[in-house]
Structure 1
Amino acid sequence: MSKSFVIGISGSIGSGKSLIRHLLALRGVLTVDADELTHFLLAEDKSGYRAALQLFGDQILTKDGRIDRGRLGKIVFNDPQQLRILEDAIHPLVGEVFRTMLDNTACPLVAVEAIKLYESDLIRVVNSRWFVNSRVNSQIARLKTTRGMTHRQIADRLEKQAFPKDMKIDYYIENSRHITDAWEQVERVWCALMTGSVFRSAQKALQKKNPMFILDLPQIKDLHPDAQVPIFQILHDEKGKNLEQLVLKSRVFLSPLGQGKTYFLWGFDHFNTVIKGISNPCEEDVFLSGLEKLEELTRFWNGNCLVVPLKKEHADLKNELILRGYREFHSFDQRSCPYLLFDPLIEGTIETHLVKPLPGGIWRLIP
């Protein structure tokens, strides 16, 4: 059994599993999306890539030799037998990577989101099983908004999904209402788990080891209106009505810089930490101190790299970051750091992106 306490999150497509996972990340939990591990495994020359190529041939490749997940999806989601063949090849690899990650992480609390949790090896390392429910109309609305799926596509996917009748579930979370309702349910489950000595020890260890403070939902809600305004602007919301809902929908984190009302806004996607913005100007030494803590947290979460966008007027800061091991994104050979390809914020922007690869990231564990 892993030295970390592992929460397993399952549920139907569009039920809001990623929201529950993000709510746990706000508490410092290392959260893992099994789909992201699959994306890594399907990267060129990785074991999942080779397996998929052997099963489906060149028809799933783009012109530059990468797997086109859209083409692959059309094949397997229209044929249950082909889907099962792909899952039989990929799921054991995902389980292998996740177990290896557990052996190599310092984070004592880990959560994994997997729609096929109960049909994969992941279930064997899970200490607490959570299942996320949602009304069908809520699922349809989410999938249309987040994935651009049509009503017919959603209906087909929902019809084909099935879960084992004998699956053991420790906690149900109903995710059809407001985001704050989901947070309250997570809080109740968290408090229930705290009555157990194993989880309580893991939670205390997390509090002790977590290198950077992250605002949870009540703290975001209580931010002074003056502190909220620049955050709304960074997240491109002109209405400025509900910050906690916006933060959760944007899947970003807020961490204080210094003693004032200045906050880092950052994301953690595909194990890449990306700075989204800073709510107010601050001294360079305050920024660098906060960045050091964020680097520690990224290592703590087995992250692959940090990405810092800079404007032209920040030339002095750019030079300092280069001295600290950062490099311009376009100077990387993307084949040596393919995890950078998973960040859509890097391409197509006018800022200079500085990247610091971290040697302990999960990418090194992908076979």
Structure 2
Amino acid sequence: MTLVKRIIGLTGNIATGKSVVRQMLVNHGALGIDADIIAHRVLYPGGSAYRQVVDAFGSQILTRTGEITRKKLAEIVFSSPNSLQQLESFTHPAITNAIQRRIEAAVLPVIAIEAIKLMESSLANLIDSLWVSHVSREEQLSRLINIRRMEADIAQQRIDAQPLQTEKLSLADVVIHTDRTFESTWHQVHTALNDTIQMNSALESLHINIIDSWWIHPAGSFPSSQLSAFINEHLKEPHEMLFQWMASKVVTPVMKDHTLSQLIVWESQNFTGKIKQVIPPTPTPDQAEVALLAFEAHAKANQCELLIVPGNIASTFTKALPQYGYKQLQKDKVTYLDWKQAITTEKNPWIKLIGEPFESTHNHFLRLS
């Protein structure tokens, strides 16, 4: 049966909580795509727009290792409207093409595309529903100053440089107010999904059989009270911890015989997946194996390319890691920029390659020998 995919376009001005909303959609079973990440990737060495941009603007924009220096490129294009237009003629089609390829390859029924200039681009033609994240201007300023550590005048400039938020709000099918608690945002996302798409059938598409009687389900298909009670039982963490995770990480519930057995908490950044916590924290050997399988299945559904088990929690899975294809490699064996950044701060990580970048013209980023 052909999978019917519904595409949510997610936009909003700076510091309005777009990424939080996208992450919560992922925790409801959606595939999240950040257009800004794709825009970076098409300019990486081997990226689909890399050669055109280098040929047009010269080797002066390159580092000694052949990477495009975005600051040097910006100095050129923002000093000349013609140069900016030329750059966009290379990057915009590459970005749209990469996103379309990811949509075509998606195995999840709901896809959320986050882009600050969504409605000004050809991506607007792809979406079925427009969601806009919103906070007051005062809250935008507060977040830029207190969270992103911007100077007040710079923060003002960044806000003023963008079109008025009211323009986006006037086009919105759904508005998510993110100036309250993470729990409030979670319930808004949950309600909006139920109101705008057939959420029950969509969630059923992410009921994935791991092995025997073990299954994974999207967190959004559970009552939040059930998940927070499970966390409190094993970690003694407060109710609010669940929603902090839902806003920044992926929470994968694992069921056995219709009973909640485990939660896998992992980061999904730049299409790399990194395990952060397993609950209960001391799983049995069988549970440890299932946790790895659940992590891989959910990460693959989210189009992750590289899986990472940090060295500090590897002991949880030690015997299972090599059995399921994880390796410990010297970091210089990993050459793709997003993957390198993901493992840079990790000590003795175990990694597994499960995919290749859609945005690249070649796939030789991990040397196994």
TM range (shorter): 0.7 to 0.9
CA distances 1:150-188 after superposition (whole Å, capped 9, x unpaired): 323222222221269597321122222222222222122
CA change 1:320–1:222 in 2 (3 A) is closer
CA distances 1:118-138 after superposition (whole Å, capped 9, x unpaired): 121211110111111211122
CA distance in 2, matches of 1:261, 1:214: 14
CA distance in 2, matches of 1:254, 1:298: 10
CA distances 1:199-223 after superposition (whole Å, capped 9, x unpaired): 4585155244586234345444444
User: How far 1:81 sits from its partner (Å)?
Assistant: 6.9
SS of the residue corresponding to residue 38 of structure 1 reads: helix
Which residue number in structure 1 is paired with residue 185 of structure 2? Answer: 182
CA distance in 2, matches of 1:213, 1:200: 13
CA distance in 2, matches of 1:312, 1:15: 34
SS of the residue corresponding to residue 333 of structure 2 reads: coil
User: How far 1:35 sits from its partner (Å)?
Assistant: 1.0
- Kept in 2, the 8 Å contact 1:328–1:355? The answer is yes
Amino acid at match of 1:295: E
Matching of residue 347 in structure 1 with residue 344 in structure 2: yes
Matches within 5 A, 1:98-137: 98-137=99-138
- Kept in 1, the 8 Å contact 2:22–2:112? The answer is yes
CA distance in 2, matches of 1:107, 1:138: 34
CA distance in 2, matches of 1:313, 1:42: 34
Which residue number in structure 1 is paired with residue 307 of structure 2? Answer: 306
Amino acid at match of 2:108: C
Which residue number in structure 2 is paired with residue 237 of structure 1? Answer: none
CA change 1:100–1:77 in 2 (3 A) is same
Amino acid at match of 2:242: E
CA change 1:65–1:219 in 2 (3 A) is farther
Q: Paired residue for 1:246, among 218, 221, 244?
A: 244
Any unmatched runs of 5+ in structure 1? 233-239
CA distance in 1, matches of 2:159, 2:79: 13
Which residue number in structure 2 is paired with residue 271 of structure 1? Answer: 271
Amino acid at match of 2:344: E
Matches within 5 A, 1:327-338: 327-330=327-330, 333-335=333-335, 337-338=336-337
User: How far 1:243 sits from its partner (Å)?
Assistant: 1.1
User: How far 1:8 sits from its partner (Å)?
Assistant: 0.5
Matches within 5 A, 1:35-50: 35-50=36-51
Matching of residue 212 in structure 1 with residue 216 in structure 2: yes
CA distances 1:270-319 after superposition (whole Å, capped 9, x unpaired): 111111122411122211112112211222222212111235983x9545
- Kept in 2, the 8 Å contact 1:272–1:303? The answer is yes
Which residue number in structure 1 is paired with residue 253 of structure 2? Answer: 255
CA distances 1:308-352 after superposition (whole Å, capped 9, x unpaired): 1235983x95454223222214267323x4441241xx22333x2
CA distance in 2, matches of 1:121, 1:282: 47
- Kept in 2, the 8 Å contact 1:133–1:173? The answer is yes
Amino acid at match of 1:206: S
Amino acid at match of 1:225: N
Amino acid at match of 1:140: L
Q: RMSD value over aligned CA atoms?
A: 3.4
Amino acid at match of 2:232: P
CA distance in 1, matches of 2:288, 2:270: 24
SS of the residue corresponding to residue 268 of structure 2 reads: strand
CA distance in 1, matches of 2:239, 2:202: 33
User: How far 1:72 sits from its partner (Å)?
Assistant: 4.5
User: How far 1:5 sits from its partner (Å)?
Assistant: 0.7
CA distance in 1, matches of 2:242, 2:69: 35
TM-score for the superposition, normalised by structure 2? 0.80
Q: Which moved more, 1:325-334 or 1:215-224?
A: 215-224
Matches within 5 A, 1:7-46: 7-46=8-47
SS of the residue corresponding to residue 107 of structure 2 reads: coil
CA change 1:281–1:79 in 2 (3 A) is farther
CA distance in 1, matches of 2:79, 2:230: 48
Matching of residue 65 in structure 1 with residue 59 in structure 2: no
CA distance in 2, matches of 1:158, 1:79: 23
- Kept in 1, the 8 Å contact 2:254–2:262? The answer is yes
Q: Paired residue for 1:225, among 203, 224, 232?
A: 232
- Kept in 2, the 8 Å contact 1:109–1:202? The answer is no
CA distance in 1, matches of 2:55, 2:61: 11
Q: Paired residue for 2:360, among 353, 362, 366?
A: 366
TM-score for the superposition, normalised by structure 1? 0.81
CA distance in 2, matches of 1:276, 1:120: 35
- Kept in 2, the 8 Å contact 1:220–1:243? The answer is no
CA distance in 2, matches of 1:148, 1:59: 31
Amino acid at match of 2:353: P
Amino acid at match of 1:303: C
CA change 1:246–1:154 in 2 (3 A) is same
